[in-house]
Structure 1
Amino acid sequence: MTRFDGHVALVTGGASGIGAAIGSRLRGEGAHVVLADIDADGLARAAAADPDVATVACDVTDSAAVEAAVAETVRRFGRIDSAFAVAGAARFGTITDIAEDDWTFTVDLVLRGTFLTVRHAARAMRAAGHGGAVVIVSSLNAHVPLYGGSSYAAAKAASENFAKSAALELAPHGIRVNAVLPGLVATPLTAPLLGVESVNADYLARIPARRAADPSEIAGPCLYLASDDASYVNGTSLVVDGGWEITNYPDLAPLLEG
């Protein structure tokens, strides 16, 4: 497939998980890709696996770092056509007991990181005058509460709504912004949860597909939203969860309190 021939994309959180899968799928369809991440070792592995992929160290909570990542994308490939805001993680704890620094860490990474990625990518697209597409990877937890993860769920809900505001503001510049809300995905972020047998079983019992998604199964919908096939799709949210949202969420209290 070559629907992204000549296309230039920046992927934050690109060293592993969903971000790495997006980068791989983009490269496979002809795109020039810049992977941005704070994980230097992960970026090195990605570059070793594909010498044509570009990498840049980037803390998405640092405005100057994100601006530099966008500038490096334009410097290297002459333009930026799409940006994928994937970087995210969480520090867990109940509302009454979580350290305030842990709450701030999660909200800054998930929400501020999304804001800065969209801000600087959109500025570059607007300046070039050719439009573009932004895909924000939110979470099913934007809709479904998460015991012990209120900071993550709140930030993901905010990032989903932010996508709609961004779509409204950037549409006059030909820039589309959409959100993808993954359910359970087998990534380094979810590995600690899936490693607890009872919790893993509880997850799978609630997912009609009876399994976690592979990161590539999230990458596909993300690429669709960045492609010309989605040229009239803007400000929407696509839940990709194997049917989980139509059931209910497992009880994580034993994991956090046991």
Structure 2
Amino acid sequence: MSRFTGKTALVTGAASGIGSALATGLIAEGANVIGLDIDEAGLQKKAAELGDSFVSVIADVTVESQVEAGIATAADRFGGLDIAFNVAGGSRIGAITDLTEADWDFTVDLVQKSVFLCTKHEARLMRDTGGGSIVNISSLDGRIPMPGGSPYATGKAGVVMFTKNAALELAQHRIRVNSVLPGLVDTPLVAAVMGYEPAKQMFLDRIPLGAAATPEQIVAPCLFLASDEASYITGIDMVVDGGWELTNFPNLAKLAAS
């Protein structure tokens, strides 16, 4: 398929995980990709893999000046921006009574504030060139409570509502905005869980389809939402979780107590 031939896409968190898989998928379908990440070594590896269609930009997506400059690269290199995926994320976990203010700010800034900053500057560029599509990566944790992960779950829930607000505001500029809510995905972000059998099994017991998703299984619906095939879809939150939402979140505190 070549749904994105001649299109320019931007991916945050492009150095690894879902962001890396998105960059690969976009280029396979004809797009030019601007990849933003704070991981310089990871970006260099991705650039070597994907060639001239991939432009790497080192940026902290919680800092507006760096976000604005990174997104401007799309116009500088390719004349505009058609598609954006706001993927970058991370988390510091802990009980509410133990979390520090710095832990909370780090997580919420990375998963929620970054989506606001990126959407703001992506939309400005798209508005000036006739429209586009933005896909924000939230999480199933934005729909169901996550014991020990309140900053992450709160931030990701905010991404869902922010996406709906953005979809309403930006429709007049022919910009569609949607969110995707992955469940358990086998990426470096969850390596500790996947590498510890008791914790891994607690998750898999909750997933009716019985496995973690691969990054590519999250990429497919993301690319659909970004494509012209979804031209009449905006403001939705698409859960891609193998049925996990039906069974709720495992209580990992039981592991600590055992």
TM-score (norm 2): 0.98
Give the equivalent residue in structure 1 for 2:238: 238
User: For structure 1, which runs of at least 5 residues remain unmatched after alignment?
Assistant: none
SS state of the match for residue 69, structure 2? helix
SS state of the match for residue 224, structure 1? helix
User: What do the CA deviations read for 1:152-208 (whole angstroms, capped 9, x no partner)?
Assistant: 000000001100000000000000000000000001111112222111001001101
Give the equivalent residue in structure 2 for 1:142: 142
Whether the 8 Å contact between 1:147 and 1:252 is mirrored in structure 2 is yes
Give the equivalent residue in structure 2 for 1:43: 43
Give the equivalent residue in structure 2 for 1:214: 214
Query: Against the structure 1 CA distance between its residues 43 and 209, is the aligned structure 2 distance closer, same or farther, given a 3 Å change threshold?
Result: same
Equivalent-residue separation in structure 1 for 2:83 and 2:133 (angstroms): 5
User: What do the CA deviations read for 1:79-129 (whole angstroms, capped 9, x no partner)?
Assistant: 10011000000000110001210111000001110000100000111122x
Give the equivalent residue in structure 2 for 1:82: 83
Does residue 34 of structure 2 align to residue 34 of structure 1? yes
CA RMSD after TM alignment? 1.0
SS state of the match for residue 205, structure 2? helix
SS state of the match for residue 248, structure 1? coil
**Counterpart mapping for 1:240-255 below 5 A:** 240-255=240-255
Q: CA deviation at 1:252?
A: 1.1
Q: CA deviation at 1:256?
A: 5.3
Equivalent-residue separation in structure 2 for 1:46 and 1:16 (angstroms): 9
Whether the 8 Å contact between 1:92 and 1:149 is mirrored in structure 2 is yes
- Aligned residue identity for 1:214: T
- Aligned residue identity for 1:154: T
User: For structure 2, which runs of at least 5 residues remain unmatched after alignment?
Assistant: none
Whether the 8 Å contact between 1:224 and 1:230 is mirrored in structure 2 is yes
Whether the 8 Å contact between 1:186 and 1:214 is mirrored in structure 2 is yes
Query: Against the structure 1 CA distance between its residues 256 and 172, is the aligned structure 2 distance closer, same or farther, given a 3 Å change threshold?
Result: farther
Give the equivalent residue in structure 2 for 1:63: 64
Q: CA deviation at 1:73?
A: 1.2
SS state of the match for residue 35, structure 1? strand
SS state of the match for residue 51, structure 1? helix
Give the equivalent residue in structure 1 for 2:102: 101
Query: Against the structure 1 CA distance between its residues 83 and 96, is the aligned structure 2 distance closer, same or farther, given a 3 Å change threshold?
Result: same
Q: CA deviation at 1:257?
A: 5.8
- Aligned residue identity for 1:89: G
Whether the 8 Å contact between 1:148 and 1:256 is mirrored in structure 2 is no
Query: Against the structure 1 CA distance between its residues 188 and 228, is the aligned structure 2 distance closer, same or farther, given a 3 Å change threshold?
Result: same
TM-score (norm 1): 0.98
Q: CA deviation at 1:74?
A: 1.1
Equivalent-residue separation in structure 2 for 1:256 and 1:155 (angstroms): 25
Q: After the TM superposition, which parts of structure 1 deviate over 2 Å for at least 4 consecutive aligned residues?
A: 254-258
Does residue 11 of structure 2 align to residue 7 of structure 1? no
Give the equivalent residue in structure 1 for 2:23: 23
Q: CA deviation at 1:248?
A: 2.1
Give the equivalent residue in structure 2 for 1:173: 173
